[in-house]
Structures are given as structure tokens and as C-alpha cells.
């Protein structure tokens, strides 16, 4: 019985070592250098291929008195697009 318990503990410990999340921030290197500002409960982001080129584009919501930001995906690099929609005077999600 103790062998089973020891084997179970070793398995749990080894599994937890391999289950760590690795995150590397590379938004600036991809062309997106915007902060969300001081908003309540954070901001929103959407991924959608709005120009139908097969690559997901990004839309970011913003703080009050700052417009929505649209970024076109050009081979993994994002370029901010100017879209003729009115700026909002309140924060968006």
C-alpha cells in the first residue's frame, strides 16, 4: 500500500512540474503598443478576419474618450487601421 501512495505522490509532483503556463509578452514586437487605460473590470478584445484575407484581425476596446482600435493582421504583424466610425465618450468592453 505504501508503494502505491509513494507512486501516486511522485506522479502528482511530476505532473504539476510539467503543467506550468509559459507566457511571453510580444505585443509591441507584433505592432500593437496600446494600453487599456484606467477602466472598470478591464477591456475587451476580439479576433475576426474583417478583410477576409484568411488572417484574424484584432479589435481593442479603450478607455473613455478614446476610440476603438482596429489592427489588420499582415503576416503576423499588426498595423492600426483608421475606420470611419465615431469616437465614443465612454469606455467600451
> What digits encode the pLDDT tens for the residues 7-16?
888 888 777 6
Which domain covers residue 82, as residue numbers? 24-93
The number of domains in the chain is 1
Alpha helices in 1-93 (DSSP H): 2-18
- d(CA 22, CA 66) in angstroms, rounded, equals 32
Kindly state whether residue 52 falls inside one of the protein's structural domains: yes
Structure confidence at residue 19 as a pLDDT band (50, 70, 90)? low
Kindly state whether residue 73 falls inside one of the protein's structural domains: yes
Residue 61 vs residues 36, 50, 80: alpha-carbon distances, Å:
7, 16, 13
Q: Please, is 36 exposed, middle or buried when counting C-beta atoms within 10 Å of its C-beta (0-12, 13-18, 19+)?
A: middle
Kindly state whether residue 92 falls inside one of the protein's structural domains: yes
Kindly state whether residue 89 falls inside one of the protein's structural domains: yes
- d(CA 2, CA 38) in angstroms, rounded, equals 54
With 0.85 as the threshold, say if the pTM is over it: no
Question: Residue 72: pLDDT above 90?
Answer: yes
What average pLDDT score do residues 35-60 get? 83
Amino acid at each position: 500500500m505504501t508503494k502505491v501512495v509513494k507512486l501516486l505522490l511522485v506522479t502528482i509532483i511530476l505532473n504539476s512540474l510539467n503543467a506550468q503556463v509559459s507566457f511571453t509578452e510580444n505585443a509591441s514586437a507584433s505592432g500593437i503598443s496600446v494600453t487599456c487605460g484606467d477602466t472598470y473590470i478591464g477591456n475587451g478584445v476580439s479576433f475576426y478576419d474583417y478583410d477576409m484575407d484568411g488572417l484574424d484581425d484584432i479589435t481593442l476596446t479603450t478607455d473613455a474618450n478614446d476610440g476603438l482600435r482596429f489592427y489588420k493582421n499582415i503576416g503576423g504583424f499588426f498595423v492600426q487601421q483608421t475606420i470611419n466610425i465615431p469616437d465614443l465618450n465612454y469606455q467600451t468592453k
